[in-house]
Amino acid sequence: MTDTPEITDAHLQDLIPDDQNANSGTERGQAMIQDSVNTVGAGRSLVVDKNGRVVAGDKTRQALLEAGLDNAILVKTDGTRPIVHMREDWDLTDQDPDNPARLYAYYGNRSGELSLSWDPLVLDDDQNSGVDLLRFWTEDELELQLEPLEDEDPPTLDDLADQYGEGQDRDFWPILAVKVSPETMALYTSLRDQVPTEDDSAAMAQILGAVDATVLGLVPALEEV
């Protein structure tokens, strides 16, 4: 990057919003940003990546567009030289109670406070993709941010079908869980080994069928030795 940054014209409407913005914002905060733009005009700069995708300031961009301020100045940098936005029409020392510079200072802090609403879905996605969110929150703080995900309604059958495919009849078979003595388990294992199939459910059906036939007297019971 040269000492003199490249400065060009740009249009805010051509910038690309971040579809993975973890701050979903609030109506109250957006209204405050809009009031700021309508009252004192543009102040804080937006930040975009090399593709024109907004990294910071998209809520301000929306307010500027709403106010008809689409024409912008684009300054290309590599981050080694900060950009200072001088409002030549402002004087912070002016004691006028409606001093726009003083109002803007309040607008900036208050709108940032009101606009902050973390999206737990985006936080969860980012964390699962490897973003170290513990740089920004303690474990307890992050747990509170992700807590709403635990309160979501369980997925419907249609949701599961979309994710995993249509269920088969076998998926809905009941599961049998029985606590038995070691001796009974050894007997079952011995019988299971004699059934020539790798399908456990089919083997269980054959064993139970043989027992059922014996109980009903269809085949003679084994004589005790």
Tens digit of each residue's pLDDT (9 = 90 or more) over 32-64: 999 999 999 999 899 999 999 999 999 999 999
127 and 133 Cβ atoms separated by less than 8 Å: yes
The mean of the pLDDT values for the chain is: 89
> Three-state SS for 8?
strand
Delimit the domains of the chain by residue range.
6-117, 119-167, 182-215
What are the pLDDT digits (tens) for 143-175? 999 998 886 667 777 877 787 777 677 667 777
Residue type, 210: A
Strand 71-76 relative to strand 54-56, pairing:
unpaired
For residue 4, pLDDT beyond 50: yes
What are the pLDDT digits (tens) for 75-108? 999 999 999 999 999 999 999 999 999 999 999 9
Predicted local distance difference test score (pLDDT) of residue 224: 45
91 and 101 Cβ atoms separated by less than 8 Å: yes
30 and 19 Cβ atoms separated by less than 8 Å: no
Predicted local distance difference test score (pLDDT) of residue 161: 78
| Cα Rg, the chain, nearest whole Å | 34
